[in-house]
Structure 1
Amino acid sequence: MVKLTFLGTGTSQGVPIIACKCPVCLSDNKKDKRLRTSVLIHVDNQNIVIDSGPDFRYQMLRAGVENISAILFTHEHKDHTAGLDDIRAFNWVNKTAVNIYAEKRVQDSLKKEFAYVFAEFKYPGIPQMNLIEVTNHAFRINGTTIQPIRAMHLKLPVYGYRIGDLAYITDANYISPGEMEKLKGIKILVVNALRKEKHISHYNLSEALDLVNELKPEKAYFTHISHQMGFYDDVQAELPENVYLAYDELTIEV
């Protein structure tokens, strides 16, 4: 069994956005409050996190996470990497480094962003991590098979991941036919759907629905949602019966 918890379902600024007075940002519905996008996957008695954005510390506390086996990165944008320093807590409690899976370009970005971690002089208390390169081939984490799915975020290559019958793809607006083959037969699809209007680098709602119609999973969940999407209750009422807007702290199993 694979259990996925949505740690955050918001776009790069989260919802509400600082100083925004739109109705969605002012909503008192908990499902309209969105931290930056990330998920926790529990599988084979281990915890795997996909992306550690600026809200990583609070997300770990809110979900009661006491250990993680790995962090997988989709790409190097700040809203997906900025919280990496907070793995220090896991280093201290679990007395071990955290395995970080990312393609080489993303690793190079992390080495610049967190230069003090990789400096010749190791300052006491810095995060301890093992960088492991992801290529477009399946790999294993403690017996769990992970299949990377290459997608495009405008012109930036990003990785989604398939674990068993579940696939997670965010910050994408194109998947090639060859990569779509890797998604055949999935039961659960999690994919970004930024808003209803078309966007230059993310699927909008109709494009995400088109992807669902093509892959035909049993269920689909949309994430990386902006305040421009509208109220959770209103949008959910418009969706097909097997398609859902994800929200923070939602847990699903497959």
Structure 2
Amino acid sequence: MEITFLGTGTSQGVPVIGCTCAVCRSVDYRDKRLRVSVHLQVQGKSIIIDSGPDFRQQALRERIDHLDALVFTHEHKDHTGGLDDIRAYNFRQQQDMPLYAEPRVLEQLKREYAYIFAEHKYPGIPQVQMHPILSETDRFWVEGIEFQPIRALHYKLPVLGFRVGNFTYLTDANYLSPEALEQMRGSEVIVLNALRHEKHISHFNLQEAIAILEDLAPGRAYLTHISHQLGRHRETEAELSDFIRLAYDGLRVKM
């Protein structure tokens, strides 16, 4: 399996519009963070988790010329705002794009992208197949690849993380139940959100994320959904345990 971090930033990205802090003015490419998304290449399949507003730019940067499916963690716009750009894959592959998400999320997509689901469709709009994730505990298959959903809370909003083999990906969360933690345990690689140093209402902060990862003790861990308030990449990463790294846009991890 190869994991590519398409984006590792928050809903505003980094730099933030109008901000002149040291992180937003940094010339380190690792401090330039598009909205959070990850690309999995596994068993010959190309799967993306979340397609935010930067989806087109990310797909072009990483030269993703084929896409088998999109999987969504939840319905917030920084995770779904690039859905229209799957049209390129529709045209190239001559087939509908499978979308996997909880029913609530699929209904939100139908509202936000009503033209995709209209009875009389405009020529050239995205073509999709909707696949509801009906259980937060039962495994499901994305184009033949087994996914284990992991329930988390993003303040009061239920969101999903996913375990694929020995890889676990979870973003936009500030609570994990003991059962969810056990589902993650034993992973070789875990990706977890860490927004900033200060406590936040809907995201793990750095200290909370570190505590979870030290308990789960994966071989490698990467932090994502990082805001400019976490500090510059080079300085923050230097303070972390050896097995925990900050993810950055374009980082590739092989398992």
For 1:34, the equivalent position in structure 2 comes to 33
Number of aligned residue pairs: give it: 253
Q: Indicate if the aligned counterparts of 2:8 and 2:226 stay in contact, CA closer than 8 A.
A: yes
Question: Residue 10 in 1 paired to residue 4 in 2?
Answer: no
Question: Residue 193 in 1 paired to residue 188 in 2?
Answer: no
For 2:120, the equivalent position in structure 1 comes to 121
For 1:230, the equivalent position in structure 2 comes to 231
Deviation string 1:182-222 (CA, Å, 9 cap, x unpaired) is: 11210100010000111010000000001101111011000
Deviation string 1:9-50 (CA, Å, 9 cap, x unpaired) is: 000000001111111101000000000000000000011000
Quick one: which amino acid aligns to residue 139 of structure 1? F
SS in 2 for 1:160: strand
d(CA) in 2 for partners of 1:163, 1:91: 25
For 2:246, the equivalent position in structure 1 comes to 245
After alignment, is 179-188 or 223-232 more displaced?
A: 179-188
After alignment, is 12-21 or 174-183 more displaced?
A: 174-183
> Structure 1 length as normaliser, TM-score?
0.98
For 1:22, the equivalent position in structure 2 comes to 21
For 2:74, the equivalent position in structure 1 comes to 75
Quick one: which amino acid aligns to residue 234 of structure 1? E
Quick one: which amino acid aligns to residue 151 of structure 1? A
d(CA) in 2 for partners of 1:123, 1:189: 42
For 2:147, the equivalent position in structure 1 comes to 146
For 1:161, the equivalent position in structure 2 comes to 162
The alignment's C-alpha RMSD in Å is 0.7
d(CA) in 2 for partners of 1:17, 1:143: 39
d(CA) in 1 for partners of 2:142, 2:6: 21
SS in 2 for 1:238: coil
Give the C-alpha shift of residue 4 in structure 1: 0.4
Deviation string 1:45-94 (CA, Å, 9 cap, x unpaired) is: 01100000000000000000011111110000000000000000000011
After alignment, is 128-137 or 163-172 more displaced?
A: 128-137
Question: Residue 212 in 1 paired to residue 225 in 2?
Answer: no
Deviation string 1:157-187 (CA, Å, 9 cap, x unpaired) is: 0000000000000000111111222112101
Deviation string 1:123-159 (CA, Å, 9 cap, x unpaired) is: 1001000010012210112321110100000100000
SS in 1 for 2:150: strand
Shift >2 Å, 4+ stretches = none
d(CA) in 2 for partners of 1:63, 1:117: 26
> Structure 2 length as normaliser, TM-score?
0.98
For 2:109, the equivalent position in structure 1 comes to 110
Q: Indicate if the aligned counterparts of 2:69 and 2:143 stay in contact, CA closer than 8 A.
A: no
Gaps of 5+ in 2: none
